[in-house]
A and B are shown apart, each in its own frame.
Chain A
Amino acid sequence: MGIVSPGFTGRRRGGSDLPPGQYLTRDFPVLSAGPTPHVLPEHWEFSITTETGEVHKWDWAAFQALPSEEITRDIHCVTRWSKLETDWKGVSLDTLLADVETGADFAMAHSYGGYTTNLPLEDLLDGQAWVAYEFDGEPLGAEHGGPARLLVPHLYFWKSAKWVRGLVLSDTDDLGFWESAGYHEYGDPWKEQRYAGD
């Protein structure tokens, strides 16, 4: 449906391996809502809080001591750029959640700087999500969420919360920062779930 734009032919820089409406970029764009928080690794802490209030915590040393994985994935930003085969290193959420007892269905990711984003817990499990601390073999720069960010590459990239500091598990699906401001509550790039109701 819709109309034809008179005189538009398009440059067509997309590709068949990209989700609908996305185009390829080679840079690594930065999109966040405020100034970049600069969190020193020695001050960084990551926690998982269950729906009963039980808290599991890792400081930088404890986090680095966990088994890590190298991850190569395509990433897709809701502002329409996609970047293929990005290389990361991080700790799987399967590892972080292994000893956490929970019946919760939802997680809210919280970041330094106050950002939040909501995800179904099952999207963080089974090798789908990491807390990443290296990009392209280098420590993750602050502008890209360093010292550590969430990496959930199968969803639009705003779900991959930068400067992540913890997850709060819950029985209810609350809305995070962008989700409260009109973005889709789930954000599947292949279904083009950009805005609420898509």
Chain B
Amino acid sequence: MERTALRRRLTWQTGTVTQVREETSTARTIVLDLPDWPGHLAGQHLDVRLTAPDGYRASRSYSIASAWTGEGVELTVEQVPDGEVSPYLVEVLKVGDPLEVRGPVGGWFVWRPEDTGPVQLIGGGSGVVPLMAMLRTHAHAASTTPVRLLYSVRRPASVIYRPDLKDLAASDDVDVTFVYTREAPPGEPRVGRIDAELLAAKAFGPADDPTTYVCGPTPFVEAVADLLVAAGHDPSKVRTERFGPTGGPR
């Protein structure tokens, strides 16, 4: 496919922040105007580069949260306590500021509207970001491919995109399930991590032959991908993206 497109030379470009939206008390969406953006596929990421007045630089990767509609690119950043880049993006950056990015990058963890098989999305925490780009692309393309999202969060207040997800879930083709690991809202008795039983009840099974996208912190992705393979899913149809860098104690 777009092998050449994906191998295009990437240069840094400067965008302008046109809007910021608080998603939770620790996560924020940044809308960027990027005049030279070539467009992107749902699931791709970009690199953000910050430069201090003395020339010191730090870069990190962020998934693109928005569908490509011809204008603007959205990122959603969850603040990592003590982090170098995410606290700047969540707390300091403001409307009108410039931001350097390059991308899009990645051609594996992507969903295209031409893909018609069932899609299972499984996100933990900010791992929902590239999955949201897939849901938005699905809606934008008016795709009727069945999509299910399992979204694992600590508590109701940690849900990113709650209103948007509610709107999307109103479509016949999209099914959204929240999984609360620490504290559930009233009326939702289950508190706990995603397990085999929950997958069997809420996710597409191997017989549906879905393509499954799993994204989140490394231990989350490891656990979910192992459960999927144990349940009989073809490993080559389970795509993962691990939001490092923590890989657990080692």
Write out the residue numbers on chain A whose beta carbons fall within 8 Å of the beta carbon of B228. Answer: 35
B108 A196 Cβ-Cβ under 8 A: no
Q: Which of B6, B7, B105, B108 has the most CB of A within 10 A?
A: B7
Indicate if B109 sits at the interface (CB-CB under 8 A).
yes
Interchain Cβ contacts within 8 Å, total number: 146
B235 A4 Cβ-Cβ under 8 A: no
CB closest chain-A residue, reference B60: A80
B245 A79 Cβ-Cβ under 8 A: yes
CB closest chain-B residue, reference A196: B7
Q: Which residues of chain A from 1 to 26 have any CB-CB distance to chain B below 8 Å in the complex?
A: 2-13, 21, 23, 25
Q: Which residues of chain B from 104 to 123 have any CB-CB distance to chain A below 8 Å in the complex?
A: 105-109
Write out the residue numbers on chain A whose beta carbons fall within 8 Å of the beta carbon of B7. Answer: 180, 182, 196-197
A160 to B157, CA, bound (A): 40
Q: Which residues of chain A from 23 to 58 have any CB-CB distance to chain B below 8 Å in the complex?
A: 23, 25, 27-37
B225 A180 Cβ-Cβ under 8 A: no
Given A4-B51, A29-B245, A21-B100 contact (CB < 8 Å): no
- Name the segment of B91-99, B135-143, B201-209 touching the other chain: B91-99
Least CB distance, A34 to chain B, in whole angstroms: 5
CB closest chain-A residue, reference B233: A35
Write out the residue numbers on chain B whose beta carbons fall within 8 Å of the beta carbon of A35. Answer: 225-226, 228-229, 235, 238, 240
Indicate if A63 sits at the interface (CB-CB under 8 A).
no
Q: Give the size of the chain B interface in residues (CB under 8 angstroms).
A: 53
Least CB distance, B63 to chain A, in whole angstroms: 13
Least CB distance, B56 to chain A, in whole angstroms: 5
B50 A10 Cβ-Cβ under 8 A: yes
Write out the residue numbers on chain A whose beta carbons fall within 8 Å of the beta carbon of B61. Answer: 79-80
B248 A34 Cβ-Cβ under 8 A: no
Interface of B is mostly: mixed
Write out the residue numbers on chain B whose beta carbons fall within 8 Å of the beta carbon of A178. Answer: 108
Indicate if B218 sits at the interface (CB-CB under 8 A).
yes
Indicate if A105 sits at the interface (CB-CB under 8 A).
no
Least CB distance, A150 to chain B, in whole angstroms: 19
Least CB distance, A165 to chain B, in whole angstroms: 15
A3 B100 Cβ-Cβ under 8 A: yes
Q: Give the size of the chain A interface in residues (CB under 8 angstroms).
A: 44
Least CB distance, B45 to chain A, in whole angstroms: 10
- From the candidates B83, B226, B246, name the one contacting A27 in the complex (CB within 8 A): B246
CB closest chain-A residue, reference B235: A35
Chain B 51-68, CB-CB to A under 8 Å as 1, else 0, gives 111001111110000000
Given A2-B51, A196-B7, A30-B56 contact (CB < 8 Å): no
Indicate if A81 sits at the interface (CB-CB under 8 A).
yes
B98 A3 Cβ-Cβ under 8 A: yes
A8 to B57, CA, bound (A): 9
Write out the residue numbers on chain B whose beta carbons fall within 8 Å of the beta carbon of A60. Answer: none
Write out the residue numbers on chain B whose beta carbons fall within 8 Å of the beta carbon of A23. Answer: 58, 84
Indicate if B193 sits at the interface (CB-CB under 8 A).
no
- From the candidates B3, B14, B106, B250, name the one contacting A28 in the complex (CB within 8 A): B250
19 A-B residue pairings within 8 Å (CB atoms): A4-B51, A7-B88, A8-B50, A8-B52, A8-B88, A9-B56, A27-B247, A28-B247, A29-B247, A31-B218, A34-B235, A35-B225, A37-B235, A79-B245, A178-B108, A181-B107, A196-B8, A196-B9, A197-B8
With A11-B58, A11-B83, A11-B84 given, name 18 new contacts (CB 8 A): A2-B14, A5-B50, A5-B93, A5-B100, A10-B52, A10-B84, A25-B245, A30-B244, A34-B236, A35-B225, A35-B235, A79-B244, A79-B245, A80-B245, A113-B236, A178-B108, A180-B6, A197-B10
In order of increasing CB-CB distance, the 4 nearest A-B pairs are A197-B9, A181-B107, A35-B225, A28-B250
